[in-house]
Amino acid sequence: MKKHFNQFVKGLAVPVLAATLLLACKKDASVQQTAAETNSTTTTTPRVKTAYQLVWQDEFDGTSLNTAKWGYENGNLGVNNEKQYYQTQNVTVSGGNLVITARKQTVSGQPYTSGRINTNNSSNKFSIRYGRIEARMKLPMVQGTWPAFWMLGTNITDPNVGWPKCGEIDIMEQVNTNNNVLGTIHWDNNGYVYYSNSTNTTPGDYHVYAVEWDASAIRWYVDNNLYATANIANNINGTDEFHKNFFILLNLAIGGNLPGNTINDAAFPTSMYVDYVRVYSQTNSTAPVGQTVTLKGINNAFVSSENGTQAMTCTRTTAGDWERFTIVDAGDGKVALQSMGKYVSSENGTQPITCSRTSISDWEKFTLETTADGKWAFKGNNGRYISSENGTQAMTCNRTSISGWEAFTH
């Protein structure tokens, strides 16, 4: 749901893990394509092992909106030349669904009413950075309608930020009677820019619309079929907005820049149905199982297994065999690190870590987390993080949070 949207980009997809640039087009400029076009409707097998944990959900099983999870955005918001006035009574919960209904009804000069809700206005504000955000939805398929499932940066209300500097992730948008659904991001890169792609489905039926978002990319799915990927690694093209917290919105707009202002009044009232919204955090966001990597600490030195003969260090200026680690699937979304045939052990945080274990038990299992700047951190089964100790002493696994010493370039 664009704040200000003048131009829609079709057919651009950024391949997963590719280093190609995102499309960057100015608000009123012609489109310039800088990434390869691909068939965007095929089912793909993920190249990385990703594990998720459910952290927030609304199954809409009650009889009214749960205001601990959602808040209303009412009124004429004055965006996109839309024709609706948002009000509370257009948002209901029944039959296991959130139902947002648009009506031909004039309020405060707007010829239609509808509903819009978000998780930032709730009594328990909810936002997230990275994860899988999904909803199962059925759309109205009426000329003039513009349903959306989307996200905004929580800093949008900061007078020094606003839109588009806060960033916007449109998980799903659809207009009119089109079978085409859109996935888009908007941001600021010395001016307004966006990347957008689309795929065909049957929006009048229930489908699961989702993004999977990590420090490297945002990926769009319909029913788990990947159709678009945006590269945000290392803040490429000014995408630092997408490494901050975002909140969730759902709304049904009428008319405006994207659907136009030809509206089928005879089809009103009309509704958008949402079966559920679920949010998952990543517990193993970008672990390339089977890949051999080096790990470099903030002191610009490499982590060494020390061939398993002593406690591990982060002091090596070059990477040899002792400084190479193979990432092994340890089950339940966790990984193990293997070097020279032995596994890294957290030693349960009671002494410096070693690389001398011949098999994987709990102390050799780690949750891999990705930091905002794309580095890796490893959390042991003791709930503590591995630390390089800045190379001044043997490495440990006893830190309660991630700072510079606990993040590793790979």
Phi, psi of 340 (to 5 degrees): 55, 35
Distance separating alpha carbons of residues 88 and 84, to the nearest angstrom: 13
323 is catalytic: no
Tell me whether strands 292-293 and 180-188 are parallel, antiparallel or unpaired.
unpaired
**How is residue 125 written in tokens?**
């504000």
Sheet holding 246-254, edge to edge: 71-72, 116-118, 246-254, 145-153, 168-173, 180-188, 192-200
Residue 369 a catalytic site member: no
319: its two tokens = 């990477």
Q: Which is the catalytic residue, given 82, 134, 168, 241?
A: 168
The terminus-to-terminus CA distance of the chain in angstroms comes to 36
Closest CA relative to residue 197, chosen from 170, 224, 161: 170
Amino acid letter, 52: Y
- Burial (CB < 10 A; 0-12, 13-18, 19+), residue 365, is buried
Contact 390, 299 (CB under 8 A): yes
Q: Which candidate in 82, 173, 212, 306 is catalytic?
A: 173
Cα separation values, 319 from 297, 301, 373, Å: 12, 9, 22
Q: Can you say how many angstroms the Cα of residue 242 is from the centroid of all Cα atoms in its chain?
A: 8
Give the separation between CA 18 and CA 295, rounded to whole angstroms. 21
Please name every residue paired with 316 in a beta bridge, in sequence order, or none if there are none: 302
Angle at 350 between CA 345 and CA 351, to 5 degrees: 65
Q: Could you tell me which residues are beta bridge partners of residue 296?
A: 302, 409
Cis previous bond, 352, omega within 30: no
Q: Tell me the catalytic residues.
A: 168, 173
